[in-house]
């Protein structure tokens, strides 16, 4: 059977491509946080792959905007479980490498589906957290906003200290629209285009996550996917590295700096 290039040679190829680049787009999903000990949750943070919740409903229903409006206790119950799972974790080497590349290259942006805030914690500044950040809370009834380190001291569901309404995290629940301001930043940066595009740890099931990689292909810009599994875009990218994010990015960065 004919074998393709090894991941070692692919890493060397990507390091060589970076030598010719000044701008990079990273598109990241749950897989980049797997090396931090977080499970690759389904959707916005579904705790139960293939199982229902305690209430016998799909996790997507529990974490839907409609449920938050009609029965916020259910939504907040599972938000609290997600946050508790993230609480003892932190960013890993993959996040660090991306932050290091932002300091090194002329222009680096991250489009992430993750709500854990790890990219920013690792030092990345140009982050489009398209699904939001679970640590940012706000009241839909007044101007109250707060950043919370964790939910351990929150009443569940938490209430606004100013007006008493139940607050929510600044995340996109199932059935809700993407935030206008963040999509505008994405459109503006996409219009400028990038020299190379990376998809890291995402299954790329959402059209707005696939779109940058498809645009890169039409522009004939190099595309790289880092994911142990095959995804919606695996057959379309120029380089597919079947490794975990932390190991692959660390090795690419090391070879780039050593060459």
**CA dihedral angle for residue 121, residue 184, residue 40, residue 171, rounded to 10 degrees:** 80
The pLDDT value recorded for residue 46 is 38
Residue 87 banded pLDDT, cuts 50, 70, 90: confident
Distance of CA 32 to CAs 107, 116, 201, 203, 248, Å?
Answer: 21, 11, 5, 11, 11
Instruction: Single out the catalytic residue among 95, 119, 131, 135.
Output: 131
Residue 39 banded pLDDT, cuts 50, 70, 90: low
Q: How many residues does the chain have?
A: 259
Catalytic residue list contains 135: no
Mean pLDDT taken over the chain: 91
Q: Which of 45-49, 61-65, 87-91 has the highest mean pLDDT?
A: 61-65
Contact 43, 174 (CB under 8 A): yes
The pLDDT value recorded for residue 51 is 60
The pLDDT value recorded for residue 72 is 96
Is residue 79 predicted with pLDDT exceeding 50?
A: yes
The pLDDT value recorded for residue 245 is 96
**Token pair for residue 115?**
């709500």
Is residue 3 predicted with pLDDT exceeding 50?
A: no
3-state secondary structure of 114: coil
pLDDT tens by residue, 203-227: 998 999 999 999 999 999 999 999 9
What pTM did the predictor assign? 0.92
The pLDDT value recorded for residue 23 is 98
The pLDDT value recorded for residue 49 is 52
214: nearest Cα among 205, 223, 202, 206: 223
Is residue 2 predicted with pLDDT exceeding 60?
A: no
Task: Please report the domains of the chain, with CATH numbers, ordered by start residue.
Answer: 7-37+91-131+177-258 (3.40.50.1220), 59-88+138-171 (3.30.1600.10)
């Amino acid at each position: 059977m004919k074998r393709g290039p090894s991941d070692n040679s692919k890493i060397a190829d990507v390091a060589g491509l970076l030598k010719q680049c000044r701008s990079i787009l990273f598109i990241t999903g749950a897989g980049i946080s797997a090396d931090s000990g977080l499970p690759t949750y389904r959707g916005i943070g579904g705790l139960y792959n293939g199982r229902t919740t305690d209430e016998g409903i799909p996790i997507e229903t529990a974490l839907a905007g409609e449920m938050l409006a009609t029965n916020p206790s259910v939504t907040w119950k599972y938000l609290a479980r997600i946050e508790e799972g993230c609480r003892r974790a932190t960013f890993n080497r993959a996040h660090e490498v991306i932050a290091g590349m932002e300091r090194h290259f002329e222009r680096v942006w991250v489009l992430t589906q993750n709500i854990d805030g790890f990219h920013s914690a690792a030092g990345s500044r140009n982050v489009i957290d398209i699904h939001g950040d679970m640590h940012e809370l706000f009241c839909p009834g007044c101007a109250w906003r707060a950043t919370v380190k964790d939910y351990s001291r929150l009443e569940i569901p938490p209430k606004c200290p100013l007006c008493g309404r139940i607050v929510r995290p600044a995340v996109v629940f199932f059935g809700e629209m993407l935030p206008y301001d963040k999509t505008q930043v994405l459109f503006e940066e996409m219009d400028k285009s990038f020299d190379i595009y990376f998809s890291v740890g995402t299954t790329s099931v959402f059209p707005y996550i696939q779109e940058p990689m498809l645009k890169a292909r039409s522009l004939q810009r190099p595309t790289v996917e880092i994911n142990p599994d095959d995804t919606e875009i695996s057959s379309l990218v120029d380089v597919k590295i079947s490794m975990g994010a932390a190991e692959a990015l660390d090795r690419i960065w090391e070879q780039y700096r050593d060459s």
